[in-house]
Structure 1
Amino acid sequence: MKAIVHKGKDGLEGLSIQDMKAPSVSSNEVKVKVKAAGLNRRDLAVVTKRHKAEDPALIPGSDAAGIVEEVGEDVTRFSVGDEVIVNPGLGWKERSEAPPEGFEIVGLPYHGTFAEYYTCTEDHVEKKPDHLSFEEAAVLPLAALTAYRALFSRGDLSEGQTVMLPGIGSGVLTYALLFAKARGARVIVTSRSEEKLNKALELGADVAISTSSDWTEELEGEQVDLLLESIGQATFEKSLGIIRKGGTIVTFGATTEDQVSINIRSFFYGQYKLIGSTMGSAEELRAMLAYVAEHDIKPQLDQMFRMDQYQEAFQYLQNSKNFGKIGFIID
């Protein structure tokens, strides 16, 4: 089978298209003919952090949608021909405060989804939402699950609250915008890009301001109930300054420096809540899929690339050119 493979060289230079042995199916597994696969920042991190030339060949990729082509003899949930999506999480079944020991994400250390076929146990695939194309469904799982858990499981967002999304444009934050509006929340976004601010307003954002501006001045003193922080050092102090007393920051990433500093006295006097979040469980994935179906939500799909455009796709993501999700058309 054809696959995007990382081997032999550092970073993006180690990527190539190779012929790999198609995976076989054991008794409790399903074999999915991949139609499309979503590209995430995790995939970029995986290929840029594998620096040893002796590392074995790895097929990256955490997201995919396709058609079940073969099932093991003990499989009961799916049949040949079913349209499915891949659960990017391994070993996290029920919703919990933190992932269990041994939790992994598809695409490292085991082969991922950037290939013509992907095989996994039947409890690691779910039915594809009927209203989504394969391309739309392929870019859904990891980023949408991350947004769903951050907003609802960790952030406890409710109707009428105000949520702020600094750095709008990523897949996670565009999902967060769509999910929050479906819940009836007021949404404030920031970006350094005027184009992305305008696109966010078109997508339903209530207020859009520059990331580099004085947020308190721009918002005329308005404070927010919940803020999703994924930038890190560059915006963290501003994020703390815009949250109402007793409000919540949920952090799930750091596109700038990881280390941040806070005035701990101001923090505890403000009764703020700072909560970490990482992707989500299979239970939350199913809840997210039901939410998407109930509200007829479709991903903000920036563009899809052919497999042989892997360098262009990874560089496009690395340069943060996307507004919403990107991925690969496999078939």
Structure 2
Amino acid sequence: MKSIVLNTTLEDKIEISEIEIPKIGPDEVLVKIHAAALNHRDEWCRQGLYPGLKNGIVMGSDGAGVVFEVGADVDQSNIGREVIINPANHWGDNEHAQSKDFSILGMPENGTLAEYVKVKLDRIQPKPEYLNWEEAAALPLGGLTAYRALMVQGRLQKGEKVLVTGFGGGVAQFAAQYALANGAEVYVSSSSENKLEVAIKLGAKGGFNYKKEDWAKEALELTGGFDLIIDSAMGDTLGNLIQVTKPGGRIVFYGATKGNPKEVDARKIFWNQIHLIGSTMGSDIDFSDMLKFIEVNKITPVIDQIFSVEKAVAAFDRMKSGQQLGKIIVKFV
């Protein structure tokens, strides 16, 4: 089967490789992938910035397809089901945080950027009927991460003012869509004026170019501050986020692409009783709740571009450039 695998000995660090279709265990299913989606995680693996890297591993965490084969202990009626894959494995019994065994498909285990992928039966869920294959493939990792950050850790309430930073990436896109569907007053930030315009067309009240030195002052004057901020950058941007958070507000961060902040205004945090909350992907319960939420609200993922398997390097380069708005898709069928 065709697969996109890590190969750090090559200039592009990835290659299209013909590997054997995986053999499934008694409690597993084999899913024929129709479409898969890229995440920043995949490009970080390509750049050697992720732990536990192994050459030859099939990359990719997001995928949607049809159950092609089932293990001995799995009901045969599952064959032919249209499904999406939950890429989070071994969350554990604690809903508050993942277990030490937690892992994500695509590294160090083979992932979804292949014609077939094997997973445990409990990792598949019915594909939402109103979504096409590309839209369904876009959903799992980014959709789950956004749902936990916004709804579980952020405890979003209807009518609250929300700022989603870095609009354009998959998680931020979902967070903005979810917040709008939940009745929030949504604002976004980006370094791209085009992405800000798209967010406003989707329903955001306004947007801020975080490259401007006075964006935080502008945001405060316009909104009076935010009840909830969803962020993936951290670094020295944290100071501005604290500045625009209302007393008693929450800042939820699911990444730290800009690293650790050099300085933190601890006095402002404690005096204004601001909550700094970390978040990751999510539990199996979060995944099920996310699917119910998107079904009820008929949320459709924003697709940036669709690439064939043969154009895998171009797809990864698109992710690396940071110019995407929405999810980058690799189509297998």
Residue of 319, 328, 331 corresponding to 1:329: 331
1:93 Cα deviation after fit = 5.5
- Report the equivalent of 1:276: 278
The within-5 A match list for 1:73-84 is 73-76=72-75, 79-84=78-83
- Report the equivalent of 1:70: 69
Among the aligned pairs, what percent are the same residue?
38
Partner SS for 1:174: helix
- Report the equivalent of 1:120: 119
Count of aligned positions: 329
The within-5 A match list for 1:180-329 is 180-213=179-212, 214-219=214-219, 220=221, 222-329=224-331
Partner SS for 1:26: coil
CA distance in structure 1 between the partners assigned to 2:311 and 2:149 by the alignment: 32
- Report the equivalent of 1:148: 147
Matched-pair contact (CA < 8 Å) for 1:95–1:283: no
Partner SS for 2:12: helix
Change (3 A) 1:95 1:289: farther
The AA in structure 1 aligned to 2:3 is: A
Matched-pair contact (CA < 8 Å) for 1:232–1:260: no
List alignment gaps of at least 5 residues for structure 1.
none
1:95 Cα deviation after fit = 6.5
- Report the equivalent of 2:98: 99
CA deviation map 1:121-161 (0-9, x unaligned): 10111111111111100010000100000001000001010
CA distance in structure 2 between the partners assigned to 1:6 and 1:97 by the alignment: 33
Partner SS for 1:126: strand
1:254 Cα deviation after fit = 2.1
Question: TM-score under structure 2 normalisation?
Answer: 0.94
CA distance in structure 2 between the partners assigned to 1:251 and 1:161 by the alignment: 18
The RMSD of aligned alpha carbons is: 1.9
1:283 Cα deviation after fit = 1.0
Matched-pair contact (CA < 8 Å) for 1:4–1:310: yes
Matched-pair contact (CA < 8 Å) for 1:246–1:270: yes
Matched-pair contact (CA < 8 Å) for 2:237–2:261: no
Question: TM-score under structure 1 normalisation?
Answer: 0.95
1:217 Cα deviation after fit = 2.9
Change (3 A) 1:206 1:111: same
CA distance in structure 2 between the partners assigned to 1:131 and 1:95 by the alignment: 32
CA distance in structure 1 between the partners assigned to 2:261 and 2:131 by the alignment: 39
Partner SS for 2:78: coil
1:257 Cα deviation after fit = 2.8
The AA in structure 2 aligned to 1:168 is: F
